[in-house]
Amino acid sequence: MPRPPTQLPQFSSVSDVAKRLSAAGYLTDKQIATTVFLADRLGKPLLVEGPAGTGKTELAKALAAATDAELIRLQCYEGLDEARALYEWNYKKQLLRIQASQASADGADWHSVHDDIFGEEFLLSRPLLTAIRRTEPTVLLIDETDKADVEVEGLLLEVLSDFQVTIPELGTVVATRRPTVVLTSNATRELSEALKRRCLYLSLDYPSAEREREIVLSRVPDLAPGLAEQLVRTIRALRALELKKSPSISETLDWAQTLLELGLDTLDETAIGETLGVVLKHASDQERAAAELRLN
Amino acid sequence: MAMPAAQPAAPAAGPAAPGGLAGHLDGFVRAIRDAGIPVGISQAVDAAEILTVVDLLDREQLRHGLAAVLLQRGNQRQIYDTLFDLWWPLGDRPAAVDADGDTDGSEAVTLDAPDGEGELDPAQRLREELARLLAEGDEEELARFARRAVALLGQTAPSPSGQSWFSYRVMRALSPDSLVSSLLEGLLAGGERGGMAEQVARGEIRERLKSFKDAVDTEVRRRQADERGRDRIAKSAVKPLADQMDFLRAQQGDLAELRRMVAPLARRLAVRLSARRRMGREGRLDFRKTVRASLGTGGVPVVTHHRPRKIHKPELVVLCDISGSVAGFSHFTLMLTQALREHFSGVRAFAFVDSTDEVTRFFSPGADVADAVRRIGREADVVAFEGHSDYGNALEVFADRWPTVVGPKTSLMVLGDGRTNYRPPGLPVLADLVQRSRSAHWLNPEPRRLWGSGDSAALKYAEVVDMVECRNAAQLADFVTTL
């Protein structure tokens, strides 16, 4: 198997990853930094799996910012197909071209029309093809891979292992510069073994108390450190309950923002009671939290 | 394959292993495979490549690096960490490390005799230190302390068969659980008790105690491995993966784990059932829409548009044995029922012991499962006589009281072990139900070889209905995909 186009590593060490990502506004821990470093070194796609709101997509964005690359995003959904992921011929334009040649008296012969309508001009490039054709640094984010159908995984396999796409009418497009690939998944379904094997696996869970506090303070810098501490402890207590949807990092940040907007300086029972809707989005979860934490 | 027992002190990658680093890695990979985590050859090769890239002196880098290629699921991480700690242990002399790193004089406990500070015995002083560390909540400090505590307290008297290490000795000597109230005092910092603050603090203390206990266990395992060989310890240290856990043997603690697996499973089942609806031929041609769309292509109808097909709403009837013998299983299946209710309106649930009652009403979307199960036990009319399973009577009551529930659109799912206590199994009733339904399945939590043994009528039932062995979540997932 031909090795995909090589590329100089972008990071020099694990601590370099941590430093540059945090400069881009993403606080890593050892696991994240090591895995990102390895993905960069080994030139493998990075598969990030974890519950919603733990910063999977953020990681890709920060990676793009840290390496001065452009982020190209392929959002997966049920029913995503080649035409939406890879490329598509702009058949409307092609039809117009054919009709135009019929209308004009000179009557260009079929061959020239044929060559013409399968040219660059009529090709609609979708995220995967775009990412492969770019010559500048690129981070390709394939978001919520688990939402896509199994067939799409087959397509991804081909693209991610060789970084080339074959378009029958045009020939094979080979990447001149391998994009950094990040796949995310909420683990609603098991991705195929073949796809997982080609990727480095990073399981993102809720962060440690310390890291979460740092994240809160870096994202909501105006929050008093004491309140941030209290907030993180409460969030952790909520996560320990068996809720339908445990509060994620993004909800912690929302909560911090809310407290700041409301000008609350301590997180007591009334403050939590009033703002619980920011973190818990199910009525049953709210009831449960209120009962377990003795809010009333 | 094992490294010489006397040399666990070698840094992360011990060069002493026969076969060198590669051989050591190979042993590690095999141990992971033995624990039930599938690792392909290409992954093993990748793992070797990892060794050339990471900083081998940084143990955490090695841990996360290998995890990135060897693991493919989040729930495998715990087993992986256990095995990693066995295969790539920390050095053997935490006290020496402490002497460099620790400045608070804690090694006095390990080295010096009590010096005029009173007649506190070592355990008492360790206990005080533990209380301080738990209050501070520094994980690394706590782990280091755990190592020292095991060294001092975890050891039995040497015997001819060698030393033994036990975590219960450490826990008994330190009895960390008795520290809770003073810790609580400290965390609340004079705040009032009883409110939310206390609940939050309690949760936090629980978490810290658990991490201390885990650290002690890890250290004990490491020392046991030195004495008795790594492979033996590895086998006993690893719990089965949650989806391999037997329903009938699930403990209270495991149920939480299982519960977390239900939601995705139900979603998958729902997708499965609704994918059927979506696939297949499209509906009738929508002429108007097609002509409209053709204007964009100069009047050539390039894309045809179709009316959506009528949606067939699948109806699912769940008939669930909730007698004591299948408690773990029925708890799980009721959770599945609840999760399904959130995706489908057409789910009806019935529970039985020796009589049957409809329990759909307990599973309103958003209701709490544990609560629903408790209410079913209390309020539902599932026990007619004495509370032992009677499948025959239960099926008859079901067919009698709800004759129209099972129809040609219904999928019927029976959940139970088919142990009838030697009463009539009511086969004709079941056969009739199966015939009336669109499809029918019976999920049995017992291993196939036990079907038909003793009072089990499973084999008889299997003749009239498709019976599936469903002992753990993995098998249930398999069943869902074949549906």
Question: SS3 for B284-329, per residue?
Answer: CECHHHHHHHHHHHCCCCCCCCECCCCCCCCEEEEEEECCHHHHHH
A30: left (phi over 0), alpha (psi -120 to 50) or beta: alpha
Q: Which member of A38, A39, A234 has the closest CB to residue B200?
A: A234
The strand pair at B347-352 and B356-358 is best described as antiparallel
Q: Does B204 touch chain A (CB under 8 A)?
A: yes
Model pLDDT for residues B352-404, shown as the tens digit of each residue: 888 888 888 887 766 667 777 778 777 777 776 667 788 888 888 888 888 88
Model pLDDT for residues B27-42, shown as the tens digit of each residue: 899 988 888 888 889 8
pLDDT at B351 over 80: yes
* 3-state class (DSSP) for residue B146: helix
Model pLDDT for residues A104-120, shown as the tens digit of each residue: 656 567 777 777 788 88
Q: Does A292 touch chain B (CB under 8 A)?
A: yes
pLDDT at B367: 66
Query: Above pLDDT 70, what percent of chain B?
Result: 75
pLDDT at A139: 93
Which residues of chain B neighbour A196 with C-beta distances below 8 Å?
Answer: 72
Which residues of chain B neighbour A294 with C-beta distances below 8 Å?
Answer: 194-196, 198-199
pLDDT at B114 over 50: no
* 3-state class (DSSP) for residue A48: strand
Average pLDDT over residues B435-461: 86
pLDDT at B64: 93
Q: Which member of B72, B256, B267 has the closest CB to residue A196?
A: B72
A vs B, Cβ pairs < 8 A, gives 118
Distances (CA, A) of B157 to A54, B121, B127, B163: 48, 19, 22, 7
Q: Which has the higher per-residue pLDDT, B160 or A169?
A: A169
pLDDT at B193: 63
Which residues of chain A neighbour B297 with C-beta distances below 8 Å?
Answer: 91-92, 95-96
Residue A199 burial by Cβ neighbours in a 10 Å radius (0-12, 13-18, 19+): buried
Beta partners for residue B466, in sequence order: B441
Average pLDDT over residues A87-101: 85
- Stretch 190-229 of chain A: residues touching chain B, C-beta under 8 Å: 190, 193, 196-197, 200-203, 205, 208-209
Which residues of chain A neighbour B367 with C-beta distances below 8 Å?
Answer: 284
Distances (CA, A) of A101 to A95, A150, B320: 10, 42, 70
Q: How far apart are CA B74 and CA A232, in angstroms?
A: 23
Q: How far apart are CA B59 and CA A77, in angstroms?
A: 39
Beta partners for residue B443, in sequence order: B415, B468
pLDDT at B116: 43
pLDDT at B75 over 50: yes
Beta partners for residue A181, in sequence order: A140
Q: Which member of A31, A187, A283 has the closest CB to residue B64?
A: A31
Taking an 8 Å cut-off on Cβ atoms, the answer to whether B297 and A282 are in contact is: no
Taking only Cα atoms into account, the Rg of chain A, rounded to an integer number of angstroms, comes to 24
* 3-state class (DSSP) for residue B438: coil
Q: Which member of A197, A201, A293 has the closest CB to residue B40?
A: A197
Average pLDDT over residues B69-73: 88
CB burial string B450-465: b at 16+ within 10 A, e below? ebeeeebbbeebbebb
The strand pair at A164-167 and A171-174 is best described as antiparallel
Which residues of chain B neighbour A292 with C-beta distances below 8 Å?
Answer: 199
What is the signed CA dihedral for B439, B445, B450, B451, rounded to 10 degrees?
A: -20
Query: Which residue of chain B is at minimal alpha-carbon distance from A288?
Result: B368
pLDDT at B117: 46
Which residues of chain A neighbour B206 with C-beta distances below 8 Å?
Answer: 240
To the nearest whole Å, the CA of A99 is away from the closest chain B CA by: 8
pLDDT at B18 over 60: no
Note the maximum CA span of chain B: 102
Distances (CA, A) of B369 to B218, B335, B346, B473: 34, 6, 19, 18
Q: Which member of A35, A92, A244 has the closest CB to residue B297?
A: A92
To the nearest whole Å, the CA of B408 is away from the closest chain A CA by: 30
Taking an 8 Å cut-off on Cβ atoms, the answer to whether B74 and A203 are in contact is: yes
Taking an 8 Å cut-off on Cβ atoms, the answer to whether A237 and B368 are in contact is: no
Q: Does B259 touch chain A (CB under 8 A)?
A: yes
Q: How far apart are CA A149 and CA A191, in angstroms?
A: 10
To the nearest whole Å, the CA of B268 is away from the closest chain A CA by: 7
pLDDT confidence band for A140 (50 / 70 / 90): very high
pLDDT at A231 over 60: yes
Taking an 8 Å cut-off on Cβ atoms, the answer to whether A35 and B64 are in contact is: yes
- Tell me the helix, strand and coil percentages in chain A, rounded to 5: 50, 15, 35
- Is the CB of residue B242 less than 8 Å from the CB of residue B73? no
pLDDT at A43 over 80: yes
Average pLDDT over residues B248-262: 69
pLDDT at B13 over 60: no
- Is the CB of residue A119 less than 8 Å from the CB of residue A169? no
Q: Which member of B53, B197, B201 has the closest CB to residue A41?
A: B53
Q: How far apart are CA A73 and CA A85, in angstroms?
A: 10
Q: Does B361 touch chain A (CB under 8 A)?
A: no
To the nearest whole Å, the CA of A31 is away from the closest chain B CA by: 5
pLDDT at A200: 92
Q: Which has the higher per-residue pLDDT, A255 or A98?
A: A255
Average pLDDT over residues B93-108: 41
Distances (CA, A) of B137 to B47, B130, B153, B219, B379: 34, 10, 22, 19, 45
pLDDT confidence band for B110 (50 / 70 / 90): very low
Which residues of chain A neighbour B196 with C-beta distances below 8 Å?
Answer: 234, 268-269, 272, 293-295
DSSP 8-state class, residue B283: -
- Beta carbons within 8 Å of B453's beta carbon, 6+ residues apart: none
Q: Which member of B38, B68, B256 has the closest CB to residue A202?
A: B68
Q: Which has the higher per-residue pLDDT, B239 or B409?
A: B409
pLDDT at A158: 82
Reading the block at residue A64, the tokens are 């793009």
B69: left (phi over 0), alpha (psi -120 to 50) or beta: alpha
Query: Above pLDDT 90, what percent of chain B?
Result: 4
pLDDT at B121 over 90: no
Taking an 8 Å cut-off on Cβ atoms, the answer to whether A201 and B68 are in contact is: yes
pLDDT at A257 over 80: yes
Lowest mean pLDDT among A47-56, A181-190, A207-216, B112-121: B112-121
Q: How far apart are CA A166 and CA A86, in angstroms?
A: 10
- Stretch 93-112 of chain A: residues touching chain B, C-beta under 8 Å: 95-96, 99
Lowest mean pLDDT among A191-195, B226-230, B346-350: B226-230
pLDDT at B89: 82
Taking only Cα atoms into account, the Rg of chain B, rounded to an integer number of angstroms, comes to 30
Taking an 8 Å cut-off on Cβ atoms, the answer to whether A272 and B64 are in contact is: no
Q: Which member of A38, A269, A288 has the closest CB to residue B368?
A: A288
Indicate the average pLDDT of chain A: 86
pLDDT at B7: 39
Which residues of chain B neighbour A42 with C-beta distances below 8 Å?
Answer: 46, 49-50, 53
- Stretch 83-112 of chain B: residues touching chain A, C-beta under 8 Å: none
Q: How far apart are CA A193 and CA B93, in angstroms?
A: 41
Residue A228: HSE in the Cβ half-sphere, 13 Å Cα cutoff: 20
Indicate the average pLDDT of chain B: 76
Please name the residue ranges forming H helices in B154-251. 167-174, 180-188, 196-228, 230-237
Q: Which of A203, A292, A294 to mutate to test the interface with B (most CBs of B within 10 A)?
A: A203
pLDDT at B216 over 60: yes
Q: Does A293 touch chain B (CB under 8 A)?
A: yes
Query: Which residue of chain B is at minimal alpha-carbon distance from A289?
Result: B196
Q: Which member of B49, B53, B74 has the closest CB to residue A50?
A: B74
pLDDT at A296: 62
Distances (CA, A) of B420 to A31, A204, B351, B455: 52, 47, 15, 6
Query: Which residue of chain A is at minimal alpha-carbon distance from B295?
Result: A92
Reading the block at residue B218, the tokens are 């890890």
